[in-house]
Amino acid sequence: MRIGPYELKSPFLLAPMVGITDAPFRRLCRRFGAGMTTSEMTTADISLWSTDKSRHRLDLDMDAEPRVVQIVGADPLELATAASLCVARGAQIIDINMGCPARKVCNKLAGSALLQDTKLVSRILESVVSSVAVPVTLKIRTGWDPSHRNGVEIAKIAEASGVTAIAVHGRTRACRFKGEAEYETIARIKNKISIPVIANGDIATPEKSLEVLRLSCADGLMIGRGAQGRPWIFRELNHFFDTGTQALPLAKNEVRDIMLDHLGDLCQFYGETIGVRVARKHLTWYCAGLKNSQEFRSQVVRVDSASEQVRLTREFFGQQNQGNSLAA
């Protein structure tokens, strides 16, 4: 799959997720074969970029290509200005969020709330595309609610505005993350436009990935919650896609080393105080896939130092029975 001048090495991409897909997690997912990673959603209000939170979100992974920054907002000029500044910082692709269902975003008429206003969608996309010389992509949902699935209309507007690829989460804004994702709308979108279409939603296994590709006719898949605590899912997906067989499970020492590397990278990126706090949620997700990890999880998410997180992680793995897999 190609986005602008960038030929992606894998059709499996990491979905941008606020509070999750920071630079350390993106690096980890690329290590396991993610074809592209995108920054956490960043506000287009540049007056807020001086905060530590925005500074971390705008870390551009200068060793990665393509470097993708996702921005969110509702004002065409504000979004265009933010896009230009991101490109000046080194962004190689600008992604616009029109898929976030969070109330605090939709209450500002941004994110998936924009799907209700097709004229504003057109103005935003034309403004951003004309302001930068790099590819602009778009993330949407299938519509506002099940009675208003206007994803095809939005996709046509996006293509006409010069957007180079579109990712579609298989739920409406009203559905949030409830129920099962539907891929029929994504297939209709793919049938109506010529730019790449990326399907998103409920993709957590290699088998499901091939099913979604078949049902949606998409050019690629975007993995979100399926990568939480399992950044190696991209290794599994690529292996299954290429060979039709399951990849061998990671050995316990490999899982241990992944977790320890992640803990170290978080503390280096954020500093120990924030790094330890951010690590807690990742440790919780890792534990969801580990046998007999209840006591370990209860302890490791309560300590206040990086050294204690590392010590408890090493102890947990050292106490496990010998074997190749710790999968729950």
Is pLDDT of 107 > 60? no
CATH topology of domain 252-319: 1.10.1200
Give dist(CA 200, CA 73) in Å, integer.
21
Pairing of strands 68-72, 12-14: unpaired
| Residues 140, 166: Cα–Cα separation, whole Å | 8
- What sign has the CA pseudo-torsion 221, 225, 227, 230? negative
pLDDT tens, residue by residue, 146-202: 778 899 999 999 999 999 999 999 888 677 777 788 999 999 999 999 999 999 999
Q: What is the pLDDT of residue 97?
A: 93
Q: What is the pLDDT of residue 91?
A: 96
Q: Are 224 and 17 in contact (CB under 8 A)?
A: yes
CB 63 within 8 A of CB 81: no
- Superfamily per CATH, domain 2-243: Aldolase class I (3.20.20.70)
42-43 and 12-14 beta bridge pairing: unpaired
Contact yes or no for 204/175 (Cβ under 8 A) = no
Reply yes or no on whether 29 is catalytic: no
CB atoms within 10 A of CB 244: 9
Question: Residues of CATH 1.10.1200 domain(s) within the chain?
Answer: 252-319
Q: Which of 55-64, 104-113, 263-272 has the highest mean pLDDT?
A: 263-272
Q: Say how far apart CA 215 and CA 68 lie, in whole Å.
A: 27
Query: What is the tally of helices (H) and strands (E) in the chain?
Result: 13, 10
pLDDT on residue 110: 65
pLDDT at residue 195, rounded to an integer: 98
Taking only the tens place, the pLDDT of each residue in 258-300 is 999 999 999 999 999 999 999 999 999 999 999 999 999 999 9
CA distance 207 to 72: 33
Residues carrying CATH 3.20.20.70, the chain: 2-243
DSSP alpha helices (H): ranges in the chain? 23-31, 52-57, 76-89, 103-106, 118-131, 151-161, 184-192, 206-216, 233-243, 252-270, 272-287, 294-300, 306-319
pLDDT tens-digit profile of 71-100? 999 999 999 999 999 999 999 999 999 977
Question: Is 74 in contact with 110 (CB distance < 8 Å)?
Answer: yes
**Which tokens in the block code for residue 223?**
């993995």
Among candidate residues 29, 86, 100, 287, the one labeled active-site is 100
Who's near 119: CB < 8 A, 6+ residues apart?
Answer: none
